Amino acid sequence: MSKDTAKLSFSGGEHEFSVREGTIGPSVIDISSLYKETGAFTYDPGFTSTASCDSQITFIDGDEGVLLHRGYPIEQLAEHGDFLEVCYLLLYGELPTKTQKEDFDFRVTRHTMVHEQMNRFFTGFRRDAHPMAVMCGTVGALSAFYHDSTDISDPHQRMVASMRMIAKMPTIAAMAYKYHIGQPFVYPQNDLDYASNFLRMCFAVPCEEYKVNPVLARAMNRIFILHADHEQNASTSTVRLAGSSGANPFACIAAGIACLWGPAHGGANEAALNMLAEIGSVDRIPEYIERAKDKNDPFRLMGFGHRVYKNYDPRAKIMQKTTHEVLGELGIKDDPMLEVAMELEKIALHDEYFVEKKLYPNIDFYSGITLRALGFPTNMFTVLFSVARTVGWIAQWKEMIEDPHQRIGRPRQLYTGAPKRDYLPINKR
């Protein structure tokens, strides 16, 4: 608690509110008693000034372009870490020792298969369904298949549900892809690391030997790390809000996936690549820059701008390096899309409109090019994001459930509809 207080003069009264300090980051004015004291609500559409919870998991300084998980900079985790190590860190607060890591890997690995009956569940979908639609349905259905880990008041069941979700998401995502392209499902292979196993489940076929390329597996591992958590973003807040009612974790994660699908959030990587394809060549960039600046045109440069980052997204820098590593490994020298992307980035970083509004490239600007080079079709991009973000959602959900002050989330509103009026029979309207 800070010594500072915030004073509010309102409706003839003086009110004082305590100010809370986090470890780092802005102070927070605690207005939880505001309604009781004044009878008024606060108004903050889009929650641009509202902290919805206490959290010890992730910190972002958007002005400085800093992202920390449990205090560790994303650059260090992406450079030296392994995705399951980052999962452990997000879930338990500390990096694992060697024994803890081995035990965690073992526990996750034992849950990689899905109930065999789920294969039939997949075949109920149309083959041309968007894989994110399939993800929403199948992940939501996990609560029907794993009912023995849906009691959220039992810490053991919470732990089992968490392991199950982290372990099964790559399997389900790969199944969504295989079903979409009409190939047989590939079972997980538990002696492979998380990223390699996922690549194999996506790209192996039963009739051929599949060798995982270690450079591509490292890139996949890094993509998973970069997307693992991002504090109280839209999908995480959705998971927390859904979970605040006591809903089971599988249902909450399905809600998070639905939110992530939107083009302003996780769907931006797919939208960014589609945009680069539409621009097609460097000479057409000025036309699209003009459109992005035109208030009467709904077009936006996908992969640019961020609610929190008003500086270069630190994840975008690492992603850019990964993109070059992957293209180098695959011998892709003259990728026209990369050429458009690099030129677009250069122009936007110097254009007055983008500079003034602090619109920098975000992670989605480069992730699409890398994922396409890895062999994924655009409609799988957000699916991969959801695989990686599952651990963040789970860690945030667990933190909320374990918070002794946790209550159901229930925002208020400024009602602007009709005042009270009387019902009129149809012949009098």
Q: Give, in order, the Cα–Cα distances in Å from 379 to each of 52, 176, 236, 285, 303.
A: 32, 11, 21, 24, 16
Nearest to ligand CMC of 74, 108 (CB atom): 74
160 contacts 150 by C-beta, under 8 angstroms: no
Nearest to ligand CMC of 160, 359 (CB atom): 359
Question: Tokens 């996750």 map to which residue?
Answer: 108
In the annotation, is 63 catalytic? no
Which residues, in sequence order, are CB contacts of 384 under 8 Å at separation 6+? 173, 223, 227, 371, 376
Strand order in the sheet with 72-73: 58-61, 66-69, 72-73
Phi, psi (deg, nearest 5) at residue 59: -125, 135
326 contacts 215 by C-beta, under 8 angstroms: yes
Nearest to ligand CMC of 239, 301 (CB atom): 301
Q: Smallest gap, in angstroms, from Cβ of residue 102 to ligand CMC?
A: 33
Q: Smallest gap, in angstroms, from Cβ of residue 114 to ligand CMC?
A: 27
Nearest to ligand CMC of 161, 292 (CB atom): 292
d(CA 280, CA 183): 31
Nearest to ligand CMC of 249, 303 (CB atom): 303
Q: Give, in order, the Cα–Cα distances in Å from 404 to each of 158, 209, 233.
A: 16, 52, 23
d(CA 293, CA 272): 17
d(CA 314, CA 67): 7
Q: Nearest Cα to 320, choosing from 341, 350, 289, 305? A: 341
Nearest to ligand CMC of 20, 300 (CB atom): 300
In the annotation, is 306 catalytic? yes
* Token code pair at residue 165: 């979700």
The residue number whose beta carbon is nearest to ligand CMC equals 305
Phi, psi (deg, nearest 5) at residue 28: -130, 125
d(CA 205, CA 201): 8
Nearest to ligand CMC of 96, 131 (CB atom): 131
Extract long-range pairs of 239-242: CB within 8 Å, 24+ residues apart: 239/393, 239/396, 239/397, 240/52, 240/53, 240/396, 240/397, 240/400, 240/409, 241/409
Choosing from 180, 229, 306, 351, which is the catalytic residue?
306
Q: Which positions lie near ligand CMC, rule CB under 6 A?
A: 230, 233, 264-266, 268, 292, 300-307, 357, 359, 362-364
Choosing from 364, 403, 405, 422, which is the catalytic residue?
364
Phi, psi (deg, nearest 5) at residue 287: -60, -40
Beta bridge partners of 361: 304
Q: Smallest gap, in angstroms, from Cβ of residue 167 to ligand CMC?
A: 24
Q: Nearest Cα to 109, choosing from 173, 168, 160, 174? A: 168
Nearest to ligand CMC of 198, 381 (CB atom): 381
d(CA 6, CA 137): 46
The 3-state DSSP class for residue 185 equals: coil
Residues classed as catalytic: 306, 364
